[in-house]
Amino acid sequence: MWKFVSGLNGLNELNKLVFIAAAVRSVPVLGRNRQLVENLLCRQKKSLFQSWFQILLLLCLVLVLCYTLFDSSPSWSQFYEHYQSFLRTNEVHSKPAYRVHPKHRDKLKDILNLTESPAGPPLRTQYHQAYAPNYQFIMDNTDVCKLWTPFLVLMVPVAPHNLAARNAIRQTWANRSLVQGEVVITLFMLGLPGGDGVEQLQEKLKQENLRHHDLIQSDFMDTYINLTIKTMVIMDWLATRCPTAAYAMKIDSDMFLNINNLVIMLQKPDIPKEKYLTGMLMWDRPVVRSKDSKWYVPEEMFPDPTYPTYCLGMGYVFSNDLPARFVEVSKTIKPFNIEDAYIGMCMKKLGLDPTPPPNPTQFKAYNWKYDRCEYSQIITYILGSSEELVNYWTDLKKPGAPC
């Protein structure tokens, strides 16, 4: 029997199988010898299966390589795949996360210059990448709403490196904690910085927070494409750290905010205290399908041709019962990269509608020319620089009637 087994050594895998099979059928092998032959036959079949599987796997790799080499021009379907991969792995690109003024618009391809992600374990997501509890706060001011019961909390998403914007806001509409007799708190929301000098910037942020006690930082990457994540993390912070506040406002870092007029508006007796969202309303806005647009959204992300009614992301105000509702309902809403329209989707899913402000002309978008009288009457304006904010505020607050 052992001679029979040693005789297989000179055969290839397929011939071994044939030889052994014939032997099993024709030779009356009993007991241990039959078991040995059957075991050999099983191992040879397994080896042959593994060989064929390796060949098929190699062919697949060759096909993928050929496709990559010969299809070098990116398509917008590839961009969508890249975006989904980006959300899954939390990769970093170099552009800051802030609303772009029209004169600073650039093409979407210019903000997709990726750098390497920081080392660390992969993010384990629950529900989807924009679900806020997936992220952890790494810099926080948890006592800010325990020391006071705020009437209004201003949450400002800002890029980690944009110290100039934060300082300009601190000097202007965030320079008082008591407005019209109401407690107002201003906090800046940041993600993780990317690019060169991350460790030095992170240390500067820690020192800045020690001085001002107004920075909140979470462990998502602070990028333009992650603005929806950033907004939902703001909602999560309000829901878990500051549930006693009456109202909150998400306001961009490039905004002029007439805080007095905002508080006066919220003090009106007919302003709802629950399920309330207001700002500059956008009705029946078409989804941008132009691939050259900053706000391009492929159909795979958002198939409907129009967005539900939403408030322009420059600055919208809401009763503070909504953040917890937004976080909860977001479990069932597929994320896409237009953060203000995403909040509109949350409202729709909740069966709610944004409410027009008492005076819609107070929420204005782009500023073309400064006028002291007008700025004394509005609530919001988008500005072009931090210097404009300081200059306009200084002029507005000088002695004398503005109009």
Instruction: Compute the distance between CA of residue 199 and CA of residue 203 in angstroms, rounded to an integer.
Output: 6
pLDDT tens per residue across span 114-123: 233 333 444 5
Percentage above 70 pLDDT, the chain: 69
- The percentage of the chain sitting over the pLDDT mark of 90, rounded to a whole number, equals 60
Neighbours of 195 (CB within 10 A): 14
Q: Which of 34-43, 63-72, 140-149, 170-179 has the highest mean pLDDT?
A: 170-179
In this predicted structure, the answer to whether residue 246 has a pLDDT above a threshold of 80 is yes
Q: How confident is the model at residue 20 (pLDDT cuts 50, 70, 90)?
A: very low
d(CA 212, CA 3): 87
Mean pLDDT to the nearest integer, 269-273:
97
Band of pLDDT at residue 308, cut at 50, 70 and 90: very high
Q: What is the pLDDT of residue 128?
A: 82
Question: Tens digit of pLDDT for each residue in 382-395?
Answer: 999 999 999 999 99
**Rounded to two decimals, what is the model's pTM?**
0.70
Evaluate if residue 89 carries a pLDDT over 90: no
- Average pLDDT score over residue span 64-77: 43
pLDDT at residue number 58: 65
State yes or no: pLDDT of 301 exceeds 70.
yes
Per-residue confidence (pLDDT) for residue 173, from 0 to 100: 97
Statement: residue 254 has pLDDT above 60: yes
> Looking at per-residue confidence, does 122 or 263 come out higher?
263
State the maximum Cα–Cα separation within the chain, in Å, rounded to a whole number.
115
**What b/e readout covers 91-106, taking b as 16+ CB neighbours within 10 angstroms?**
bbbebbbbbbeeeeee
Inform me whether the pLDDT recorded for 7 exceeds 50. Answer: no
The b/e string for 43-77 (b: 16+ C-beta within 10 A; e otherwise) is ebeeeeeeeeeeeeeeeeeeeeeeeeeeeeeeeee
Mean model confidence pLDDT for the chain? 79
Higher confidence at residue 44 or residue 307? Answer: 307
The mean pLDDT of 310-337, rounded to a whole number, is 96
* Among the ranges given (19-23, 128-132, 241-245), the one the predictor scored with the smallest mean pLDDT: 19-23
